[in-house]
Amino acid sequence: MSTTSAQLTVRGISIDVVYKNIKNLHIGVYPPLGQVRVAAPLRLDDDQVRLAVIQHLTWIKKQREQLRAAERQSQRAMATGESHYVWGQRYRLKVIERPGRAHVEVESGRLLMYVPPGSDRNAKTQLLQRWQREQLRLRVPALVAKWEPVINRDVSRWTIRRMKTKWGSCSRETGHISLNLELAKKHPDCLEYVLVHEMTHLRERSHGQRFVALMDKFMPTWRTRRDQLNESPLAEEEWIYPQRQC
């Protein structure tokens, strides 16, 4: 695929542009600090891209503000009293230091973290991430089994990874799907949406009209679920021009 790149400045904001053989123009705002990237059709020139960015400048600035706020909030001390999310529900963390096996439990609206005395922030963070990974591993197999016959594609393998700019990814060649560890914090509907989104890519590579039609067929509520997921400032935000898609 032929591509060229450029860098524009619009109202003081640096914009990375890649011109590709694609149908629609995509504007994305990416964590951690809100870098703006544009994927534009080869038929457009810099002035047309600049105009598209200006038309969505209010939206872009909002996403940048959210991402920068999220970056400040993301440095957790992993101390009693902090708020943490599990499957879209807010819990107060209670750290309990005692000898024995380190583990995490949810009980009566609290997230209980049992750790050896003297455990530092890094050890607590790793413990919580292991627990979150296990929560996803408990849910994903049933979802894959549910959607394989619907989408008519098999998932050969799935993995859970920490990803900075994507909720999920897939390989059409191998049928391998990766899911973001952060999904353990979101409502279960969001996990299901991301999985269906990636499984649909096993049938259609792009985000074009055929992809949207397939999503409408498989999951008529996908737009609501996508918007629910993207309300989080940690999400990768993307505007597909001229219509918002996935």
CATH code of the domain in which 172 resides: 3.30.2010.10
Residue 66 zone, left/alpha/beta (φ > 0; ψ -120 to 50; rest) = alpha
Q: What is the mean pLDDT of residues 40-60?
A: 94
Between residues 46 and 234, which one has the greater pLDDT? 46
Are 215 and 222 in contact, with CB atoms under 8 Å apart?
yes
Answer yes or no: is 199 within a domain. Answer: yes
Pair (145, 193) in one structural domain: yes
Answer yes or no: is 246 within a domain. Answer: no
What's the pLDDT at 239?
A: 39
Look up the domain containing 26 and give its range. 4-73
Answer yes or no: is 78 within a domain. Answer: no
Q: What is the mean pLDDT of residues 177-196?
A: 96
Pair (109, 163) in one structural domain: yes
Pair (107, 225) in one structural domain: yes
Pair (127, 195) in one structural domain: yes
d(CA 198, CA 6): 29
Between residues 242 and 174, which one has the greater pLDDT? 174
Q: Indicate the SS3 state at residue 6.
A: strand
Pair (125, 227) in one structural domain: yes
Q: What is the mean pLDDT of residues 183-198?
A: 96
Pair (96, 114) in one structural domain: yes
Pair (42, 90) in one structural domain: no
What's the pLDDT at 63?
A: 86
Out of 73, 94, 129, a domain closes at 73
Out of 73, 100, 123, a domain closes at 73
Q: How many domains does the chain have?
A: 2
6-26 per-residue burial string, b: 16 or more CB within 10 A, e: under 16: eebebeebebebebbebebbb
Residue 91 has pLDDT above 90, yes or no: yes
Pair (94, 65) in one structural domain: no
Residue 194 has pLDDT above 60, yes or no: yes
Q: What is the mean pLDDT of residues 138-157?
A: 98
Q: Could you tell me the pLDDT band of residue 1, with boundaries at 50, 70 and 90? A: low
Out of 73, 104, 124, a domain closes at 73
Residue 236 has pLDDT above 60, yes or no: no
Q: What is the mean pLDDT of residues 140-149?
A: 98
Return the minimum-mean-pLDDT range out of 4-18, 121-135, 230-244.
230-244
Residue 218 has pLDDT above 60, yes or no: yes
Residue 106 has pLDDT above 50, yes or no: yes
Q: What is the mean pLDDT of residues 152-180?
A: 92
Return the minimum-mean-pLDDT range out of 74-78, 132-136, 148-152, 195-199.
74-78
DSSP 142-203: HHHHHHHHHHT----EEEEE--SS-SEEEETTTTEEEEEGGGGGS-HHHHHHHHHHHHHHTT
Residue 243 has pLDDT above 50, yes or no: no
Pair (108, 188) in one structural domain: yes
Q: Max Cα separation, the chain?
A: 65
Residue 246 has pLDDT above 80, yes or no: no
What's the pLDDT at 244?
A: 35
Pair (119, 187) in one structural domain: yes
d(CA 211, CA 104): 39
Pair (64, 165) in one structural domain: no
What's the pLDDT at 228?
A: 84
Pair (139, 211) in one structural domain: yes
Q: How much of the chain, in percent, has pLDDT values that exceed 70? A: 88
d(CA 15, CA 28): 10
Q: Compute the CA torsion angle 116, 122, 124, 127 (nearest 10 deg).
A: -100
